[in-house]
Amino acid sequence: MQNYESTLITRFVGIDPSAQSTGIAVLGLDGEVIDTACVIPRKLREQTRLVFLRDGLHQVLAQHAAARGSAVACIEGPALDAINRADTLGQVRGVFLVALHDYGAPATIIQPTMLKKFATRSGAAKKEGMIKAALERWPYLDSTKINDDIADALWLAHIAYSLLTDKVHTRKQAEVILTLRKDPAEIRIPGKRLLDL
């Protein structure tokens, strides 16, 4: 078992998993954006696609997490209407969870309605609303490079940040964080400490 006692959290990662276009975002200790990436496997299928997606996440983690175990992550859970794609999305999500585990980055799975509520105050927000909210929260981002995958990943990273720092901007964000904390099985970060700001 990994020793987490001496590891300081310095990065917060958000992952919007998809077999077609996975959004990844990394926030720093101040909650500001360090990097975003979209991993697009193009025409790859089956195991080749899964390896490509895993390697894309590993590349981002290697570039931005200072040390093994220095990041925590939130990954979007399954949508209720994704029944026809459940097998593929389950494989993709599983690959990311294993990759995070390999890197020593605990992950919390966030349901889509919680993600939307955190970002826009409405659990029924559309893609455009998620993008708009991301650009309002991080106005320095290039709007031409923010698609719905990146926007979701940014908000997932922000949830990871808020879970450890208690820093939120709205009452709805505070409600989401409190709801996530009510289920201790969702939060598994043994011995992790946040660098004193």
Q: What is the mean pLDDT of each run of 10 residues along the chain (197 residues)?
A: 55 96 96 96 93 95 81 89 75 94 91 96 95 97 96 98 93 93 54 39
* Reported pTM: 0.89
CATH architecture of the domain with range 8-186? 2-Layer Sandwich (3.30)
* Domain ranges within the chain, ordered by starting residue: 8-186
Burial 145-184 (b: 16+ CB within 10 A, else e): ebbbbbbbbbbbbbbbbbbbbeebeeebbeebbeebeeee
Residue 72: its pLDDT value, please?
A: 94
Cα torsion angle, 72, 41, 55, 144, sign: negative
**What does each C-alpha distance from 134 to 77, 114, 124, 150, 179 come to in angstroms?**
19, 15, 16, 9, 22
d(CA 50, CA 95): 7
Residue 82: its pLDDT value, please?
A: 61
Residue 192: its pLDDT value, please?
A: 43
Residue 167: its pLDDT value, please?
A: 94
Choose among 175, 159, 113, 177: nearest CA to 13.
Answer: 159
